[in-house]
Structure formats: C-alpha cells, structure tokens
Amino acid sequence: MAKGEDIQSWFLEYQDMNRDDGKNIIVPEGFEKLCEKLDYSMEDINPMVLLWRLNGLELGTIEYTGWESGLREMKAKNEDELRQAIDDTLKRFDKDPAYFKAFYRRLFDYLRVGKQKFISSEYATAILSLVMDKGWAFSKFVEFLEASKDVETVNRDQWQSLLELSKVIKPDLSNYSKEDAWPGLFDRFVDWMEASNSKTAA
C-alpha cells in the first residue's frame, strides 16, 4: 500500500462524515478522538501542538491537505511515530525560541471564536498556564487577568506582545517604560505587578 493511502485511511478514521459540502475535514469531535487515541489529555498542551503540526485551521479543525503535509513533514506513519514527533516538537521549543514563537502566534487563531479579533481572557489564561516556562511574564499575566475582571479579552497584538515582553523586559521591570510602544494594557499590567510586589514586600 502506498504511503499516501496509509495517510488517507488514517485520516478517514477521524474525518467528519456528517457533512454534505464535500469537504474532507476533521472537526473537534474527530480531533478529540485522535487525542484520546494518542493518550493526550485535552487539558494539556499536546493537543495544541498536534493541531499546529497538522496545520489546523481553527480549534480542532484539520483539513486533509494540512493533515497530509503535516504527517509527511513529521515522517509519522503511525500513532507511535506521531507521539514521538510531538515530543520532539516540544523539545525543540525549548531550544529554538523562533520555533516556539511561530507556534505561540498561531495559538491565537486556535483560541478565538470564529473570526473574532480577540480571545477571551479565560482562554488566554488557560493556555498560558500550559506554557508558563516559555516566558517569565506568562504566569504574572495570568494572575493579572484573573485579578482584573474588567479585562475580558486579549487581542492579537497584546497576545503577540506578551511573548515579546518576556523576552525584552527584565522580570524586575527596570527597563519597562510607558513611553515605549507596549500596548496600553501592559501599562496597567506593570502597574498591577508593581503594586502587588510592594504589597508582598510590605
């Protein structure tokens, strides 16, 4: 059996059969099934990485073309190899910040609803909690979002800038300036951090 056929029949296991628009596509139910098969908890980061590696369009949605090229790139022909490829991806994140950045940026598309221009702060905190080790500001930002009930959404620019903030700004905030181009939300974030720091200090 040609490789292509393996990949195809594998796809068929999860494809959404209840549609009449003729699209070959995996929808969230199918994706969850795949994750189950791989022993991935949906509360974990692995499903997101998997989705990304399979060129997912939005949360839990994979087209056949993405599936095919993704699997070829990972050289994965079965579940074990796929699991291994995902593990390798996670390891590469640690070594290659640019690689992680690409993944991180894509996350925004997976977390938003439809074509909305923002993600809910609830989703943002959930996913940031899974990648906390990738940026010092993530855990702080999660706390900030939880404490700031009036901040209900995070837009793409804020999302992307957060990773940048972790890279550029020192954890003691000594090189943060409100004059710089950081989103206004970060001014409030920094104010909040400073207030909470001085509270703990006192």
Partner 1 sequence: MWTTKRPASPIGGPQKRLVLKGLDALPALPPSYKTDTLEGLRSAVHGIQQNQPTPRGLEELYRDCESLCLHNFASEVYSMLRTEFGRYTQQRLSQIDSQPDVSATGSVLEQVRQFWEDYTEQLSTIQCIFLYLDRTYALNTTNVVSLWELGLSAVRQHLADANMRSRLTRLFVGETIKERNGQAADGLSLASICRMFVDLGLYSQFLQPNFIEATREYYQKESLRAISSMVPIRQAAEKQAETGPSGFMDVPGYLAHVQHRLDEETQRVTRYLMPSTRSVLLATTLTELVERHVSKLLVSSFDAMVDANMISNLGTLYSLLSQVNQLDALQQSWGAYIRKTGLCLMQAPDLDSVLVDRLLELKQKLDTILRDAFQSNARLVSTLHGAFEAFINTRRNKPAQLIARQADHYLRSGSKHATEQGLVDLLDRIIGIFRFIQGKDLFEAYYRRDLAKRFLGNRIADMDTERLMVQKLKAECGGGYTDRLEGMLRDIVTSEELPDILEQKETQPQDEQQSPEPEDIGFRANVLTMAYWPSYDPLALVLPHQVEQAQSNFIQKYSQTHHRRKLLWQHNLGTCLIKVEFEEGLKELQLSLVQGTVMLLFSEEDELTYTQIQQQTGLENTELRRVLQSLACGRFRVLTKEPKGRDVNTTDKFAFNAKFKSPHVRVKISQIAVKEAEKDNNELEDHVHLDRMYRVEAALVRIMKAHKTMEHSALSSELLGQLDFAISTTEIKDRIETLIEREYLRRDDADTSKYHYIA
Residues of this chain that interact with partner 1 (CB under 8 A) are: 117-118, 155-158, 160-161, 164, 168, 178-185, 187-188
Q: Which CA distances in Å does 64 have to 4, 25, 78, 86, 184? A: 12, 6, 16, 19, 40
Among residues 61 and 166, whose Cβ is nearest to partner 1?
A: 166
Among residues 43 and 180, whose Cβ is nearest to partner 1?
A: 180
Among residues 15 and 158, whose Cβ is nearest to partner 1?
A: 158
Pairwise CA distance, residues 191 & 126, whole Å? 23
Pairwise CA distance, residues 91 & 85, whole Å? 10
Pairwise CA distance, residues 152 & 136, whole Å? 22
Among residues 8 and 160, whose Cβ is nearest to partner 1?
A: 160
Packing angle between helix 46-53 and helix 97-111, nearest 10 degrees?
100
E strand segments, the chain: 25-26, 62-63, 118-120, 153-155
Query: Shortest distance, CB of residue 166 to partner 1, whole angstroms?
Result: 12
Query: Shortest distance, CB of residue 120 to partner 1, whole angstroms?
Result: 15
Among residues 114 and 184, whose Cβ is nearest to partner 1?
A: 184
Query: Shortest distance, CB of residue 176 to partner 1, whole angstroms?
Result: 12
Query: Shortest distance, CB of residue 160 to partner 1, whole angstroms?
Result: 8
Q: Which CA distances in Å does 86 have to 105, 118, 178, 185? A: 18, 28, 39, 34
- Which helix (DSSP H) or strand (DSSP E) does residue 130 occupy? helix 121-130
Query: Shortest distance, CB of residue 107 to partner 1, whole angstroms?
Result: 16
Query: Shortest distance, CB of residue 183 to partner 1, whole angstroms?
Result: 5
Among residues 30 and 135, whose Cβ is nearest to partner 1?
A: 135
